[in-house]
Structure 1
Amino acid sequence: MGKPLNVGVIGCGAIIAQYLSNFRRLDSINLVAVADLDPARAQAVADSYEGVRALTVDGLLAADDVDLVLNLTIPAAHADIALKAIAAGKSVYGEKPLAATTAEAQQVLDAAAAAGVAVGCAPDTVLGTGIQTARRAIDDGLIGAPVSATATMATPGHERWHPNPDFYYQPGGGPLLDMGPYYVSALVTLLGPVVSVVGAASHTRNARTIGSGPRQGQTVPVDVDSHVTGVLVHASGALSTLFMSFDAVKTKSPNIEIHGQKGSLIVPDPNHFDGDVQLFALGAEDWETLPVSAGYVDSGRGFGIADLAATPAGQEPRAGGQLAFHALEVMESVLQSAGSGQAVAIKSTAARPAAVALTALSTPVRA
């Protein structure tokens, strides 16, 4: 705290551009090095960002001036890279999910606790003004005691636009594990931890046709369920219903609705950082758009790292490993329940992260 956090990035794929854009606006983050299995990709990033050097993965892990490793590798490599960074004495922040499985994720948390380093994980969308303004409305009692929520994500499939969609239809993919982290993390932030789940799942096709890019017209096999529904029982007693689909065409439903005894909230897309929060109070005649009242203003990917940098030593970051682990266990358990037909108890818990006051972190853009 009090000085910039020196960050090194492993993984220079497409997602890094969003992080770089925001790092240029955050004076609490000092990007010092990047690495990728493709040295040319790492060098291209280094050439675009003043003061950054391209290293090998091992070289970045060994660098004395790297305090935190931002892990932007593929999900299957998340745990391996995180464990190597922790072994090198560095804190870690990863793209979602924390690891491919809860067993691997637990190894990461245990290693970090033993080493005394911090673990953070996307999505940090929960820190933006959209989710945080909705959180403020709930905390201020505008809807009374929350009773239920619905979280809806519907798309006909990523193969329509993604040139290499194979992963989305293989084990570890599917609509829940792909997009669920945004929705489950938001639901826990809004309503608190989950104690049990019930799930059901299906798929409509055994193959998908790629709609764009050099492989257009090729088919990929579907080896996972592409439509998942789950009911989450929160410790508070509230019930959340998940609807995650690569089979549905479109929905007019809001991404998340929260219903309470005194009113209902429309919560903006949890894959975004902002958006309007609307309230329909008991006895009202129409929806009311609430003023922005909480969260990091004009935020984006990487603000979770800035929040981690401001977290006192020994305290859990808001976009921290415990929340990411809990969300991963909830999703795994929904799929387990879908396979067994039985409710599944959630073993982990995660404290509802502290609210974010209305805060502007942006500074003038750097080269």
Structure 2
Amino acid sequence: MGQPLKIGIVGTGAISGQYLSTFDRLEAVELTAVADLDTDRAKAVAEAHGVRALGVDELIADPDVDLVLNLTIPAAHAEVALKAIANGKHVYGEKPLANTPAEALPVLEAARAAGVRVGCAPDTVLGTGIQTARKAVDDGLIGTPVAATATMLTPGHERWHPNPDFYYAPGGGPLLDMGPYYVTALVTLLGPVASVVGAAARTRDTRVIGSGPRAGERVPVTIDTHVTGVLRHESGALSTLVMSFDAVATRASNIEVHGHSGSLIVPDPNGFDGEVRVHPLGGEWAVLEPSAGYRDAGRGYGLADLAATPAGEPFRASGDLAYHVLETMTALLDAAARGTEVTVESTCDRPAPVPLQDAPQAA
């Protein structure tokens, strides 16, 4: 009790830097080791942060690691998580939980059998942006929620990413890449999803890399790059989702929530803070001051929230939530392919709200 959770990172690519910078100000967690298939990169990160560089299997078995932070590519998420669980470790991973629900479910089942926890990004919903919007919904500022919109339009990641191949292969695409931020926010605001309908399209068979040593090279596109659909929440609210790598820009809000007596503009769910605006019936748009969430949060706060939650109690960035979000997204792709409404078989508890506070402390 009161001791930080000892963390070992598997995967020291670009996203690890955001976690590492956050860990410096989180007392609930302590980094003890890192590992990567690129051993030189792991050594450089280890030296910069004063920890050990280990082999992947060595780190997973290390007695000085309580939890494995899984920052590998999505195709390896389930494999690494299962190895960690088999060694008695808790697991927290980058989104998505796995490439498919069929890969993700054994992770949750193994964790329950082993008595360890599984958490998963995104934890952006724990910041003051989404949490202030959630409090406005819970406090009845817009009345009963009836609808929401969530929009993410970009011309494609190949313009800036030097190795964008995986964005355009199965397991990639705008929905599975960026959708976890938006769908997790919608579940946080409105509760779990019961069913979905959708449509999807692909405008190009190749993409041209725009930066790095492979600039000018074409990569094949084997998945749909514009996905739209409607999520029917268990509460009865309907969320319209548009995720695209085919458009240029939009002036629409990232997320809006509409109720009988008001509307909310919700900030970008890929960030932790941002401005929340409310328009009451008969009134005008007004900015809400931050009233809930972790202040000045960054990637890793979900992990610290896990560490701050006593054993046996639900934590917010849970594997069950991530599984429901993953199944919702894959059901939407299935609905688009079949041209029919698809039931989302799983459900989850709406995560507990975060009172306005600073970083979580060790349990």
Secondary structure of the equivalent of 2:32?
Answer: strand
Q: Which moved more, 1:235-244 or 1:215-224?
A: 215-224
Matches within 5 A, 1:203-242: 203-242=202-241
CA distance in 2: counterparts of 1:36 and 1:158, whole angstroms: 24
CA contact (8 A) 2:7 2:69 kept: yes
Matches within 5 A, 1:170-319: 170-284=169-283, 286-319=284-317
Secondary structure of the equivalent of 1:153?
Answer: strand
CA distance in 2: counterparts of 1:77 and 1:305, whole angstroms: 20
Q: Which amino acid in the other structure matches residue 38 of structure 2?
A: D
Q: Unmatched 5+ residue regions in structure 1?
A: none
Q: Unmatched 5+ residue regions in structure 2?
A: none
Q: Which amino acid in the other structure matches residue 94 of structure 1?
A: G
CA distance in 1: counterparts of 2:357 and 2:114, whole angstroms: 31
* Aligned position for 1:20: 20
* Aligned position for 2:34: 34
What percentage of aligned pairs have identical amino acids?
Answer: 69
CA distance in 2: counterparts of 1:346 and 1:362, whole angstroms: 33
TM-superposed CA distance for 1:273, in Å, is 0.3
CA distance in 2: counterparts of 1:58 and 1:170, whole angstroms: 28
Q: Which amino acid in the other structure matches residue 210 of structure 2?
A: G
CA distance in 2: counterparts of 1:41 and 1:316, whole angstroms: 35
Instruction: Give structure 1 regions of 4+ aligned residues with deviation exceeding 4 angstroms.
Output: none
Secondary structure of the equivalent of 1:317?
Answer: coil
Q: Which amino acid in the other structure matches residue 335 of structure 1?
A: L
* Aligned position for 1:344: 342
Secondary structure of the equivalent of 1:34?
Answer: strand
CA distance in 2: counterparts of 1:104 and 1:314, whole angstroms: 25
* Aligned position for 1:120: 119
CA distance in 2: counterparts of 1:47 and 1:108, whole angstroms: 32
TM-superposed CA distance for 1:361, in Å, is 1.4
Q: Which amino acid in the other structure matches residue 10 of structure 1?
A: V
CA contact (8 A) 2:134 2:188 kept: yes
- Pick closer, same or farther for the CA change 1:106–1:362 going to 2, 3 Å: closer
* Aligned position for 1:332: 330
Secondary structure of the equivalent of 1:215?
Answer: coil
TM-superposed CA distance for 1:316, in Å, is 2.5
Q: Which moved more, 1:24-33 or 1:308-317?
A: 308-317
TM-superposed CA distance for 1:362, in Å, is 8.0
Aligned residues: 361
Cα deviations by residue, 1:250-290 (Å, 9 ceiling, x for unpaired): 00001000000110000000000000000011001x21000
TM-superposed CA distance for 1:62, in Å, is 1.2
| TM-score for the superposition, normalised by structure 1 | 0.97
CA distance in 1: counterparts of 2:165 and 2:9, whole angstroms: 25
Cα deviations by residue, 1:174-231 (Å, 9 ceiling, x for unpaired): 1000000000000000000000000100011111111111111111111110000010
Secondary structure of the equivalent of 1:18?
Answer: helix
Q: Does 1:320 align with 2:293?
A: no
* Aligned position for 2:11: 11
CA contact (8 A) 1:25 1:362 kept: no
Matches within 5 A, 1:139-154: 139-154=138-153
- Pick closer, same or farther for the CA change 1:362–1:21 going to 2, 3 Å: farther
Secondary structure of the equivalent of 2:335?
Answer: helix
Q: Does 1:358 align with 2:350?
A: no
TM-superposed CA distance for 1:311, in Å, is 1.2
CA distance in 1: counterparts of 2:12 and 2:310, whole angstroms: 29
Question: Cα RMSD over matched residues?
Answer: 0.9
Secondary structure of the equivalent of 1:298?
Answer: coil
Cα deviations by residue, 1:114-158 (Å, 9 ceiling, x for unpaired): 000011000000100000000000010000000000000000111
Secondary structure of the equivalent of 1:243?
Answer: strand
